[in-house]
């Protein structure tokens, strides 16, 4: 949530910087004893998906040869992701363009949506980012096995290593492979959560220091909000590019 | 003949201008890259921490299963550390190649061309 949300107070009268991450059940729902309630997080995911779909649908609707403003933005997004895949995976990766484009737009949409005051940052919860990363990880592993069969396991055997070191290094390689979804999800979640907590803390300083003292943190907050928008783009980019790199490993099997 | 020399002079001046503009642009690009240095630092730090934590977690889980506390925890903690360091080195390598070839340089083009070749062989 962005700067000027000092309104929601936690206990003790001070604004609670973690209050923004709370999950509320909007429509309680239980399926086979699993809590599948429609929460504020789900609501904002739906909003983000609707906004992205609406934006992409409307902006390319005219299909003019000379693109207007909106169409340019949509085309830039397309070109950006397409170039990313071509540079990192090669033309063989273009088969997976729809998935990576969707992933990129969703993460970017959630990050940017979080910058709107009073909104909820979906990507600031590790379970969301971990679910995304797990889909990438499992999908990429399946692609690797489907493409190379059992010789995909050679991916974990580094070349040019003395035989007695092999068992140790294979274990290390496997651990390093298994940490991929965790580092992918922790990076996105930690960046979003840290940034938004900082914004909230400094926002509460503005309120606490009153009319005369509050200007100092406010002046800091303005560039910091800009930085947060940059981080929102950067993290979506990093998430997409790492997906490309993992896909490249699965398709071509060289480090 | 004078016209010809004049034209040549103007052409070389234009070349200089273009070179200068190119230099400016690459400078701007490297500035922009430097501004995301904190992102790079964060990436490396997380890579290491996640490696250690994951190794420790797996070890703890195995210990719980086999009731052999703390053997697996210690072993996998070290292995996780090794994996984390390896990940950091790999990420750093990757960043180095990202830094060394600016977008659109001959090296990147060669690389993607090579990749395309690889695919043809597959």
Radius of gyration of chain A (CA): 22
In a domain, A140, yes or no: yes
Phi, psi of A90 (to 5 degrees): 95, 180
What ipTM does the predicted assembly reach? 0.71
In a domain, A16, yes or no: no
Rounded to an integer, the average pLDDT of B82-91 is: 90
Residues ≥6 apart with Cβ < 8 Å to A146: none
Model confidence at A239, pLDDT cuts 50, 70, 90, reads very high
| Nearest residue, CB atoms, A175 vs list B80, B112, B122 | B80
In a domain, A118, yes or no: yes
In a domain, A214, yes or no: yes
Rounded to an integer, the average pLDDT of A40-62 is: 90
**Considering only alpha carbons, which residue of chain B is nearest residue A242?**
B91
Rounded to an integer, the average pLDDT of A106-116 is: 92
Domain assignment of residue A62, given as a range: 49-252
Nearest-CA distance from B9 to chain A in Å?
A: 38
- Hey, are the CB atoms on A172 and B90 less than 8 Å from each other? no
In a domain, A67, yes or no: yes
pLDDT at A27: 82
In a domain, A40, yes or no: no
A residues 63-92 lying closer than 8 A (beta carbon) to B:
86-87, 89-92
* Whole-angstrom distance, CA of residue B64 vs CA of residue A73: 53
Q: Is A178 on the interface with B (CB under 8 A)?
A: yes
Choose from A215-224, B1-10, B15-24 the range with maximum mean pLDDT: A215-224
In chain A, the number of structural domains is 1
Q: Which of A151, A137, A146 is nearest to A247 (CA)?
A: A137
* Helix %, strand %, coil % of chain A (to 5): 75, 5, 20
| Nearest residue, CB atoms, B42 vs list A172, A173, A191 | A191
Q: Which two tokens stand for residue B62?
A: 């195995």
∠ CA A49-A55-A60, rounded to 5°: 130
Q: Residue B70 to residues B38, B74, B84: CA-CA distances in angstroms?
A: 37, 6, 21
Rounded to an integer, the average pLDDT of A119-137 is: 92
- Hey, are the CB atoms on A176 and B87 less than 8 Å from each other? yes
Residues above pLDDT 70, as percent of chain A:
93
Q: Which of A106, A119, A127 is nearest to A181 (CA)?
A: A127
* Whole-angstrom distance, CA of residue A181 vs CA of residue A104: 16
What rounded mean pLDDT belongs to chain B? 76
Query: pLDDT tens digits, residue range A57-96?
Result: 888 887 777 788 888 888 899 999 999 998 888 888 888 9
- Whether A203 contacts A5, CB under 8 Å: yes
Q: Which of A106, A230, A113, A127 is nearest to A185 (CA)?
A: A127
In a domain, A181, yes or no: yes
pLDDT of A233 strictly over 80: yes
Phi/psi region, residue A9 (left: phi>0; alpha: psi -120 to 50; beta: rest), is beta
* Whole-angstrom distance, CA of residue B28 vs CA of residue B22: 10
Q: Which of A217, A197, A193, A196 is nearest to A207 (CA)?
A: A217
Query: pLDDT tens digits, residue range A167-203?
Result: 888 888 899 899 999 999 998 999 899 999 988 888 8
Rounded to an integer, the average pLDDT of A211-237 is: 88
In a domain, A63, yes or no: yes
Query: pLDDT tens digits, residue range B22-80?
Result: 776 665 555 555 556 777 788 888 889 999 999 999 999 999 999 887 888 999 999 99
* Alpha carbons within 13 A on the beta-carbon side of A242: 25
DSSP secondary structure code for residue A150 in this structure: G
* Helix %, strand %, coil % of chain B (to 5): 90, 0, 10
């Amino acid at each position: 949530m962005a700067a000027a949300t000092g309104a929601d107070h936690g206990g003790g009268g001070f604004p609670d910087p973690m209050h923004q991450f709370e999950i509320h059940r909007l429509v309680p729902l239980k399926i086979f004893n699993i809590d599948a309630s429609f929460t504020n997080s789900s609501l904002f995911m739906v909003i983000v998906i609707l906004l992205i779909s609406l934006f992409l649908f409307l902006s390319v609707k005219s299909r003019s040869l000379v693109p207007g403003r909106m169409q340019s933005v949509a085309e830039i997004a397309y070109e950006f992701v397409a170039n990313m895949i071509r540079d990192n995976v090669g033309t063989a990766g273009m088969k997976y363009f729809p998935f990576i484009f969707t992933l990129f737009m969703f993460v970017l949409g959630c990050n940017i949506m979080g910058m709107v005051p009073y909104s909820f940052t979906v990507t600031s919860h590790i379970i969301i980012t971990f679910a995304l990363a797990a889909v990438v990880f499992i999908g990429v592993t399946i692609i690797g096995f489907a493409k190379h069969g059992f010789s995909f396991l050679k991916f974990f055997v580094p070349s040019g290593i003395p035989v007695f070191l092999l068992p140790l290094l294979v274990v290390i390689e496997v651990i390093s492979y298994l940490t991929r979804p965790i580092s992918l999800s922790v990076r996105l979640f930690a960046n979003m959560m840290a940034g938004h907590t900082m914004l909230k803390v400094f926002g509460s300083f503005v309120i606490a220091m009153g009319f005369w003292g509050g200007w100092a943190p406010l002046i800091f907050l303005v560039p910091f909000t800009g930085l947060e928008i940059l981080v929102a783009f950067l993290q979506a980019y990093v998430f997409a590019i790492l997906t490309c790199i993992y896909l490249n490993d699965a398709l071509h099997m060289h480090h | 003949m004078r016209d010809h020399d004049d034209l040549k002079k103007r052409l070389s001046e234009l070349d200089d201008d273009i070179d200068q503009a190119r230099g400016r642009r690459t400078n701007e690009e490297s500035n922009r890259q430097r501004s995301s240095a904190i992102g790079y630092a964060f990436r490396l730090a997380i890579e290491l921490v996640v490696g250690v934590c994951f190794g420790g977690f797996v070890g703890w889980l195995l210990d719980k299963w086999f009731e052999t506390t703390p053997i697996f925890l210690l072993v996998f903690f070290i292995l996780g550390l090794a994996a984390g360091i390896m990940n950091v080195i790999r990420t750093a390598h990757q960043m180095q190649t990202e830094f060394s070839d600016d977008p659109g340089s001959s090296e990147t083009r060669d690389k993607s061309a090579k990749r395309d070749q690889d695919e043809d062989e597959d």
